[in-house]
Amino acid sequence: MSSIFTKIIQGQIPSYKVAENDDYFAFLDINPNSKGHTLVVPKKEDDKLFDLDEDSYLKLMKFSYKVAKAIKRAVPCERVGMSVIGLEVPHVHVHLIPLHTMADANFSKKEELTKGQFEEIANEISRKFQL
Ligand code: 5GP
């Protein structure tokens, strides 16, 4: 069965997309630690980051680097943090999180956003993204 992220990538489930190329898809986390919290996902469905071959790992990091640059340009924050967890969704993904304080790196701290806020921030990051 396809993962929830594959369904998002295929458009079966809606998302707030921020960037995409042939191999990767980046969209806002629906339950963000902070405004602009983004997930970067390979379109090929694998479970664990460190089970990827080295080339796939490095390509994912390269795409995440570009998305992180766009987040930094779009979202006022101290810095962009990166985490890989995967305990909830078994489809490799990188969390890119605008950090203001250490609390934003804590996954039990969540920020509620309206649909309009999600759309606005996704558009802002998308505009700043350069392939
Ligand atoms: P992890 O697997 O790294 O522990 O967490 C998975 C992340 O995916 C969580 O931060 C969660 O909010 C996010 N997530 C789970 N389901 C969806 C979804 O349907 N849409 C979006 N945009 N994010 C999701």
Cβ of 84 closer than 6 Å to ligand 1, yes or no, is no
C-alpha distances (whole Å) from 107 to each of 10, 70, 81, 90 are: 27, 22, 12, 17
For residue 30, how far is its CA from the centre of ligand 1 (angstroms)?
A: 6
Q: How far apart are CA 41 and CA 36, in angstroms?
A: 16
For residue 34, how far is its CA from the centre of ligand 1 (angstroms)?
A: 14
Q: What pLDDT, on a 0 to 100 scale, did the predictor assign at position 130?
A: 85
Q: How far apart are CA 114 and CA 127, in angstroms?
A: 20
For residue 89, how far is its CA from the centre of ligand 1 (angstroms)?
A: 7
The bridge status of strand 79-83 relative to strand 94-99 is antiparallel
What is the value of pTM for the model shown?
Answer: 0.98
Q: What pLDDT, on a 0 to 100 scale, did the predictor assign at position 105?
A: 97
Superfamily designation of domain 4-129: HIT-like (3.30.428.10)
Domain boundaries, the chain: 4-129
Cβ of 12 closer than 6 Å to ligand 1, yes or no, is no
Can you say how many angstroms the Cα of residue 61 is from the centroid of all Cα atoms in its chain? 12
Q: What pLDDT, on a 0 to 100 scale, did the predictor assign at position 62?
A: 98
Residue 91 structure tokens: 């489809």
Per-residue model confidence as pLDDT tens digits over 101-123: 999 999 999 999 999 999 999 99
Mutate to test the pocket of ligand 1, among 15, 18, 38, 39 (most ligand atoms within 8 A of CB): 39
Residue 18 above 80 pLDDT? Answer: yes
Per-residue model confidence as pLDDT tens digits over 29-81: 999 999 999 999 999 999 999 999 999 999 999 999 999 999 999 999 999 99
Q: Please say if 93 is a catalytic residue.
A: yes
Cβ of 30 closer than 6 Å to ligand 1, yes or no, is yes
Can you say how many angstroms the Cα of residue 76 is from the centroid of all Cα atoms in its chain? 17
Cβ of 52 closer than 6 Å to ligand 1, yes or no, is no
Q: How far apart are CA 61 and CA 120, in angstroms?
A: 25
Cα separation of the two ends of the chain:
31
Cβ burial 111-123 (10 Å sphere, 16+ → b, else e):
eebeeeebeebbe
Per-residue model confidence as pLDDT tens digits over 58-72: 999 999 999 999 999
Instruction: Tell me phi and psi for residue 48, to 5 degrees.
Output: -110, 135
Q: What pLDDT, on a 0 to 100 scale, did the predictor assign at position 131?
A: 73
